[in-house]
Amino acid sequence: MYKGLLLSGTYMQRREFIAGLGSAAAWTTLARAQQPERKKRIGVLQSNAETDPEGRSNLTTFVKNLDGLGWTVGRNLIIDYRWANGDVDRARSLAKELLSATPDVILATGTAAVAVLREQTHTVPVVFARVTGPIELGFVASFARPGGNVTGFTNFDYSIGGKWLQTLKEIAPDTRRVVVIGNPDSSTLDGYFRSIAADSLSLAVEPVRAAVRNLEEITRAISGSGEGGGLIVVPDAFTLSNRAVLVAQAMQQLVPAIYPFRFFAAEGGLVSYGINTNEQYVGAARYVDRVLKGEKPANLPVQQPTKFELVINLKTAKALGLTVPPSLLARADEVIE
């Protein structure tokens, strides 16, 4: 009798224990389900200044498109912004700050931003925008198969340098000497210069390489272009951050100039030929989304632009005493009057 009761009691205790385990497991599962999902973290390293309206417009486009893909700041996403203001040393320090926060992916704008990140990490995914020559600079192995932790969207091929020279010669046919200006620390100035020099002989133009690192050197380079001089501004963090000075100096010295982006012409530059920068950030948002969902930059092909915009500022042309050929006006995507 006692043995039966003992067995019966043991059975009841075991059943209650098992039931308790099931209840505990259910509560654990419920608790896990109620815990908020870990927010993904994106670092953003912008080469230009925080006050730059173009840079802010680019990032507005980026965030808006991320939201459309299901990534909302504050809900499942954190974004850390850093602005280098065209300063390579500052970009290097800011890259270190961003990496210390252990981001899931970094968006890098400009050649210098990618270069300093490559110095510091070969594991954290990096998606870039507005970069020239990523293969030549060692950022990726190839466009089709980047092969490392970096991929993204290029803005130009070096061959566009010849197109800039041809367009400048067309709008200012008396140009005999052209200053190619850029910061060698934050751009691929030499690559662009080689392209421009290759076409200069057929256009009877003497190309002059002007490496600039401060405002004084900008003024000296433009004022030294001389009679029959022209100006080609190479895209880099420094020239973008100092575009107001470049445009003002070109106007003051009455030097016809061509620029790489529309916003130069919108701010008074004579003519621009280049990409719509916001479109790069639409693509960058798509790539960041794919990385956050587990894809590797090594397998995401580097994308090249397929559309370029020609913008002419007629007011500036008139101030420089230039008559824009009807054929060039007909090809323009936008004419600013």
For residues 83 and 226, state if they share a domain. Answer: no
Q: What is the mean pLDDT of the chain?
A: 90
For residues 106 and 130, state if they share a domain. Answer: yes
For residues 197 and 330, state if they share a domain. Answer: yes
3-state secondary structure of 224: coil
105-155 pLDDT, tens digit per residue, is 999 999 989 999 999 999 999 999 999 999 999 999 999 999 999 999 999
Domain span at 178: 160-274+308-336
How far is C-alpha 48 from the geometric centre of its chain's CA atoms?
10
Q: Rounded distance, CA 101 to CA 99, Å?
A: 5
For residues 182 and 324, state if they share a domain. Answer: yes
Q: Is residue 224 part of a domain?
A: yes
**Statement: residue 259 has pLDDT above 90:** yes
User: What phi-psi label fits residue 268: left (phi over 0), alpha (psi between -120 and 50 degrees) or beta?
Assistant: left
Mean pLDDT calculated for residue range 38-61: 94
Tokens of 294: 């587990």
- Please give the tally of structural domains in the chain: 2
Tokens of 112: 């210098």
Q: Is residue 25 part of a domain?
A: no
For residues 269 and 186, state if they share a domain. Answer: yes
For residues 179 and 121, state if they share a domain. Answer: no
**At 222, which CATH number?**
3.40.50.2300
Q: Are 122 and 114 in contact (CB under 8 A)?
A: no
For residues 125 and 215, state if they share a domain. Answer: no
**Statement: residue 186 has pLDDT above 90:** no
For residues 190 and 149, state if they share a domain. Answer: no
**Statement: residue 188 has pLDDT above 70:** yes
Percent of the chain with pLDDT over 90: 81
Cross-strand partners of 44: 81, 107
37 Cβ contact list (under 8 Å, min separation 6): 76
